[in-house]
Amino acid sequence: MIPAHVPDEPPLTYADSFDVPVLFRNGPARKPRRQWRTAMLKPWAESGGFPAADGWYVSTTTWREIIKAAIEVGRDVTPHLRNQPRYAHGELVARVAPLYAYLGMHPFMSPFLVPGNKGRRLTLNPVYAYGTERSAKNAAGYRLGMTMAEWACRSLLGLGQTEHLELGGPISALRNTFKDPKEKLPDLWGQHQAEGLYWLIEAKGGDVGLGTLRKGWEQLAASSKILGSYAHRTVLVGACVRPGDDLFLTIDHGLHFGQPPLTAAGFDIDDESAAGPGNLEDRLGDSDDALIGAARAQMLAYLALRCAPLLPRSFAPCSFPPTARPVVGAPG
């Protein structure tokens, strides 16, 4: 039961903004000792790629961007929902409901002034802390990890659309190996146009410790061995949070040299338009492929809206700045 002294607070809304500490490293290590609160965090430079140096950074984002990442991560479900669009609502709810159920926001002012920071961070809410059983926490950790991996790789680092690796991966000749359920492989893959690299991505969420990260690193090593001679980057994203504490990310990464990607993964976008946060939605005028990619990413929300009752629908203009745009079709 939630104690009586805990304040009753409303759920997060799209416009809510907060700061996310991010630690870049070249491999798994022990959980930093509250450095997400005590370290001098560098403001994120929005480079559309990995920073020049590892270390602590901080990026300000909105709840809208987090929900957008939850909706778009991984498998493109629209081919399965095209003939049964009413199921789109269920798929959308499954992706965002754990985030609304268990995440909240609390104030925190860093001892070091970072321009643009909001002085608020994400945390686990009292429902998670006092009223959630272990199995539900594990399921929520999976969804949190996948969402924050998508947000970090795409919004911060400029990666293109992600897909679940279990669907076959980037190389057709290796599809059966990547689809083999006996292989212990990471969650996602994508292609970074500006880097000219495949990315292999493993996501972990919850109270993520060194043991969990080491397992993720082993999964990445296994997939890296399969991908073999192709140049690629391995990325391990840990979305770490405990009740009463701040959510922060660890991004452990490795670079593997080799031959360039076989194809552009369906997007013919030059380096300049591909680089940078939000490279689809924020650069729709740069190419037709960027427009098509952004539309595809929003198809789940579109199908859910299409089958919603007419009266509850509301519409908003789309001329907002990227971080202020509404996500159509999600609760909030």
- Return the percentage of the chain with pLDDT > 70, whole number: 85
**Cβ(213)–Cβ(204) under 8 Å?**
yes
DSSP secondary structure code for residue 90 in this structure: H
| Domain assignment of residue 327, yes or no | no
Residue 164 forms beta bridges with which residues?
188
Using CA atoms, how far apart are residues 211 and 195, in angstroms rounded to an integer?
30
The token pair at 21 is 């500490």
| Domain assignment of residue 4, yes or no | no
| Domain assignment of residue 325, yes or no | no
Residues 6+ apart with CB under 8 A from 69: 147, 148, 150, 151, 154, 155
The token pair at 23 is 């630690």
**Cβ(59)–Cβ(23) under 8 Å?**
no
Helix (H, G, I), strand (E, B) or coil at 134: helix
Token pair 């000792």: residue: 33
Burial 265-289 (b: 16+ CB within 10 A, else e): bebebeeebbbbbbbbbbbeebbeb
Q: How confident is the model at residue 102 (pLDDT cuts 50, 70, 90)?
A: very high
User: Beta strand 55-62 with 42-43: parallel, antiparallel or unpaired?
Assistant: parallel
Using CA atoms, how far apart are residues 41 and 308, in angstroms rounded to an integer?
43
Can you point out the beta strands (E) in the chain? 17-25, 42-43, 55-62, 103-107, 120-124, 163-164, 188-192, 197-206, 232-240, 248-256
**Confidence at residue 325, expressed as pLDDT on a 0 to 100 scale:** 52
**Confidence at residue 321, expressed as pLDDT on a 0 to 100 scale:** 53
Q: How confident is the model at residue 146 (pLDDT cuts 50, 70, 90)?
A: very high
**Confidence at residue 197, expressed as pLDDT on a 0 to 100 scale:** 94
Q: Give the distance, in angstroms, between the CA of residue 9 and the centroid of all CA atoms in the same chain.
A: 25
| pTM of the shown model | 0.87
| Domain assignment of residue 10, yes or no | no
How many domains does one find in the chain? 1
**Confidence at residue 271, expressed as pLDDT on a 0 to 100 scale:** 40
| Domain assignment of residue 40, yes or no | yes
Q: What is the rounded average pLDDT for all residues in the chain?
A: 86
Summarize the confidence of residues 95-123 as an average pLDDT: 93
Give 19-72 pLDDT, tens digit per residue.
999 999 999 998 888 899 999 999 998 667 899 899 999 999 999 999 999 999
Q: How confident is the model at residue 185 (pLDDT cuts 50, 70, 90)?
A: very high
The token pair at 265 is 């993964």
Q: How confident is the model at residue 206 (pLDDT cuts 50, 70, 90)?
A: very high
Summarize the confidence of residues 213-232 as an average pLDDT: 95
**Cβ(271)–Cβ(194) under 8 Å?**
yes
| Domain assignment of residue 156, yes or no | yes
Return the closest-CA partner of residue 65 out of 318, 332, 326: 326
Percent of residues in the chain assigned helix, strand, coil, to nearest 5: 35, 20, 45
Domain coverage including residue 238: 17-311
Using CA atoms, how far apart are residues 291 and 284, in angstroms rounded to an integer?
5
* Whether residue 331 has pLDDT greater than 80: no
DSSP secondary structure code for residue 44 in this structure: P
Residues 6+ apart with CB under 8 A from 196: 231, 260, 261
* Whether residue 269 has pLDDT greater than 50: no
| Domain assignment of residue 115, yes or no | yes
Using CA atoms, how far apart are residues 150 and 155, in angstroms rounded to an integer?
8
Angle between helices 288-297 and 299-306 (to 10 degrees): 50
| Domain assignment of residue 321, yes or no | no
Return the closest-CA partner of residue 157 out of 233, 81, 17, 51: 51
Residue 201 forms beta bridges with which residues?
188, 235
Among 113-127, 281-295, 311-325, the minimum mean pLDDT is found in 311-325
DSSP secondary structure code for residue 127 in this structure: H
